[in-house]
Amino acid sequence: MRWDPLCPSSVATRQEKNSKITVGYIYGYNYDYKFEASALPWNVTHLNWIAFESDDTSNKEIPLSGSHTYLNTTVQYRNVNKINTKIFLAIVLSGDININNKFKDKDPFASNTTERASFVNNVINFVHKFELDGVDLEYPDRYGCGKWNGSENFIPLVDELSSALKVISKTLSITVGNNPIQGLNIGSTEFINVMPYRQNEISNTTGPSITLDQISNIMDDWSKTVEPKKLILGVVLYGVIELTMPIEGNLESNSTAPLDITADIKYSVFGGSFSSDYDATSSYYDVCSFKEVYYLNVGSCQAIRSKSGPLLSSCTAQNGWTRVFDDNVKSTYLYKVYNTSLVVGSPNPLTTYYYVTYEDSQSIQHKLKLITDKSYGGIALDGMEDGCEDMISAVESIFPLDGFNPPNTSTGSGTNALSVIIIIIVCLVFCGCCGGGGKVYYDKYGNQYVRR
């Protein structure tokens, strides 16, 4: 889906070419179908490829086994086409940090310097083997899930990994959450991806997952200790689907309604079937407990923009859905009637609505304006995949790129390209077994899915 001419004009000022970083997160372990590196969104500056599902790696042993076919294909495509793209190994360590004391000698954040050295050595070996250009390391307490005793050991791990990478002319970035890390040596990192936790998702009412004011406050806090140009603002591209309680009227002028927390939202909410790669939604998991939240569901870029989905184009709804931009909080949402019932003794019917909070070409413009106004280094897009082209076009309309396009390719709004792909290995603090790809799970309906 490309830029929609019905979308309002940009509120942000176009920047000079190649002056900002654009990071894209892709869930590579979900690629269990035909994969073509040429189809990747090469018109961003950093692509974060999540190569492993959350329990595919242990805390210390970065697995060198496994073919990593899609990673190799991507690197080869980059090399053959002479694309100026750096490929990073990103190690994701967030999870239920309350149980990290179970790992003792296998904890890379333990005070034992030998354990940290072993972890660093395995990372360097992986970078060498797969011809990568650097590493992105996620802060384990990114989501603030509880009291974590390893915070003081994350800083020396960053310093030691950064030093080891510099020896081989590689660089380190880190991915963090809402709260600044006290004592962090900023010089050990090339840049910092600040991914604000969407703190409003699990609540009793509908509404934006996170407001622009909340994002601005988080970035302001980080700016107190980090130079703004080293801060990359993170934005989540997938939508969260909810079901309201029966209410009078519609949601046209009010995005807040009581939420039905007893609901069990099906994968076919957008009219598709679970067997489809395009229109089915997926389960929502709490970021701390990793337990499924049944009254919420997740819609990818592709699902929201599919033939049976809510969007015909970036700013135009279809299939009975209504799109609304809430100017008060600078966010976009969709709603659709689920059912209507009459109440005895009342002339007004009660209606239950599906509600989707998500990012689109209009709402993201306000994030881009925040970045330019505050001189931040760029933007990071989590959940980027097929169907997100309009979002990438919106970003590159403000942060244009030049000199990175594969041969004989073009994008919808000018000169674009991907300059860095960060390969992310999900390595949660609680994981234990090693493997080579996404694991298949079964939900309560008996359907298979790969956990995001």
User: For the segment 110-119, what is each residue's pLDDT rounded down to a tens digit?
Assistant: 556 777 888 8
Q: Distance (Å, rounded) from C-alpha 62 to C-alpha 211? A: 36
75: phi then psi, degrees, rounded to nearest 5 = -65, -45
The per-residue pLDDT for 58 is 39
Collect the ranges in the chain with pLDDT lower than 70.
Answer: 1-6, 28-34, 51-67, 94-112, 146-151, 272-279, 386, 403-405, 407-452
Measure the CA–CA gap between 447 and 1, rounded to whole angstroms. Answer: 28
Amino acid 102: pLDDT: 34
Contact 129, 155 (CB under 8 A): no
State residue 427's pLDDT score: 42
pLDDT of residue 28: 66
pLDDT of residue 67: 63
Residue 315 CA: distances (Å) to CA of 183, 202, 221: 43, 26, 32
Distance, in Å, from the CA atom of 58 to the CA atom of 416, rounded to the nearest integer, reads 37
Terminal alpha carbon distance of the chain: 23
The residue extents of the domains of the chain are 21-237+360-439, 241-357
Question: Per the structure block, which two tokens stand in for 96?
Answer: 């239920």
- Tokens read off for 289: 């407990």
Task: Give the model's pLDDT for residue 106.
Answer: 46
DSSP-assigned states of every residue in 171-224: EEEEEE-SS--TT--GGG-S-EEE----TTSSSSB---SS-HHHHHHHHHHHHT
Written out in words, the top-level CATH class of the domain with range 21-237+360-439 is alpha beta
CA distance 100 to 86: 32
Q: Are strands 350-358 and 311-313 parallel, antiparallel or unpaired?
A: unpaired
CA distance 120 to 128: 12
The whole-model pTM stands at: 0.84
Structure tokens belonging to residue 164: 């080891």
